[in-house]
Structure 1
Amino acid sequence: MRLKDKVALIIGGTSGIGEATAKAFAEEGAKVVVSGRKEEEGDRIVNDITDNGGLAIFAKVDTTNFEEVTKGVQKTVDEFGTLDILYNGAGIHDSYQTALDIEEEDYDQLMAVNVKGPYLAAKAVLPIFLEKGKGTIINVGSQATHVAGPGGSAYVTSKHALEGFTKQLAYDFGAKGVKANLIAPGFVETPMTEGIEEERLKDIPAQRAGKPEEVASLAVFLASEESNYMHGTSVTMDGGWVVGR
């Protein structure tokens, strides 16, 4: 029960790592708001959590729209009285397109989801955290946070940018009680990685893909009091893939 009585808003919580994180937070005692655009999937996850004795609700949110994000934050506060943890897990991929290949509108959409979305969510929750003098932000990066190759031009750029944003959050608000860190998962079995050739696994020292539940366990640690001296850190969980890059 490392997150007992905490309230967590999971952006991008309707599949993959976000779903696993929502369930892991609930198992650790947190009250969870699962947010995303897929209401049916959100309701399914909420039912899974409540059937196991947890507390959860769904909030339909387009993370690129500040009005919707603020409504999701307000719904969280209205339901549970406060907010302690923001998990920014929404993200989209660019199918490994180069700067020459990707269309401008696709580039803008990816940046809106992967970079602007976490900014809007942080902007919405920071007043609550600063008033309390305490709060946690967990951003979700990628192998592409550190190296080229795990995505195309837009994706790699976005994940590098998210690391910088995480560092700046820590720099600006760490002294005011806000803890901001980033998880950099590797090749994990999620809907985003479906169809990617298994040949990729040969470059991973662990010789396998990761599981969403493994990344979720790291998120629990970063959300808990155990990581309170970690600020602005990027934690890689990729089976060792980047060590040989």
Structure 2
Amino acid sequence: MGRLENKMALIIGGTSGIGEAVARAFADEGAKVAVAGRKETDGKRIVDEIEENDGKAIFIRIDTTKAEDLKKGFSKMIEEFGTIDILYNGAGIHDSYQNAVETDEEMYDKLMEVNVKGPFLAAREVLPVMLEKGKGTIINIGSQSTFVAGAGGSSYVTSKHAIEGFTKQLTYDFGSKGIKANLIAPGFITTPMVEGVNEERLKDIPAQRAGKPEEVASIAVFLASEESDYVQGASIKMDGGWTVGR
């Protein structure tokens, strides 16, 4: 049996990059996965490939910044799988390192909607089911910008600090009720979000390379499994050591 056998997982932001790797890793460990995002073609491709590998998956088209859209998508998951055990909040956007003067209000609002409001709405939607069961896992995604400035601009750094606070509050409010909430903080991972990062930037990383989505997914599997049941409210750095000198 896999480490996530008989678990039902909702993977938000699961149609590319780290989220795609997480969906595949969860399925490999025995979970049934709902791959959620806005890229229908990619989502269905991932689902088909998981099922070709004897996994169980469905695609749900969700814009997590819209509460009603998320509610409908979650209802589809419950209809297909019956319940939820794991929520992975992986959708996120970057601000191209814009400072507070350069950032217009529209960009700020959009980034906060995706990076902060989206995980809040998703957690609010699934928590009643998890609380009724007395057990559930929520994994939020931060970044190097959860801890330091400079890995993004004004709005991105603010959003990633905020998601750590949200993760801690989830643990404070619901940890005693069986809900395990933790945060993964990836560094430079080979995904579309970090395209264009030059080799000089990578030299600042003690590991001397970018990370792989599959490496982040391995941490997500651990946090989703019973092996990590005493890990609560933690922020796990996955950055090759980049933040140690900051």
TM-score of the two chains, using structure 2 as the length reference: 0.99
Q: Hey, what's the Cα distance between the residues in 1 that align with 2:72 and 2:107? A: 26
Other structure's SS at 2:236 match: strand
Identity %: 73
Over the aligned positions, Cα root-mean-square deviation in angstroms equals 0.5
1:87-102 matched pairs, under 5 angstroms: 87-102=88-103
> Could you tell me which amino acid in structure 1 is paired with residue 182 of structure 2?
N
1:206 aligns with 2:220: no
1:216 aligns with 2:203: no
1:1-245 matched pairs, under 5 angstroms: 1-245=2-246
Q: Hey, what's the Cα distance between the residues in 2 that align with 1:70 and 1:23? A: 24
Q: Structure 1 stretches of 5 or more lacking a match?
A: none
Deviations 1:49-94 (A, max 9, x none): 0111100000000010011111121111100111000000000000
Q: Hey, what's the Cα distance between the residues in 2 that align with 1:13 and 1:198? A: 28
Other structure's SS at 1:181 match: strand
Displacement of 1:3: 0.1
Deviations 1:106-130 (A, max 9, x none): 0000000000000000000000000
Deviations 1:141-168 (A, max 9, x none): 0000000000000000000000000000
The number of residue pairs the alignment matches comes to 245
> Could you tell me which amino acid in structure 1 is paired with residue 197 of structure 2?
I
Segments of 4+ moved more than 2 angstroms: none
Deviations 1:192-212 (A, max 9, x none): 111122221010000000000
Other structure's SS at 1:236 match: strand
Displacement of 1:40: 0.3
Other structure's SS at 1:33 match: strand
TM-score of the two chains, using structure 1 as the length reference: 0.99
Displacement of 1:48: 1.1
Other structure's SS at 1:34 match: strand
Other structure's SS at 2:203 match: helix
Displacement of 1:30: 0.1
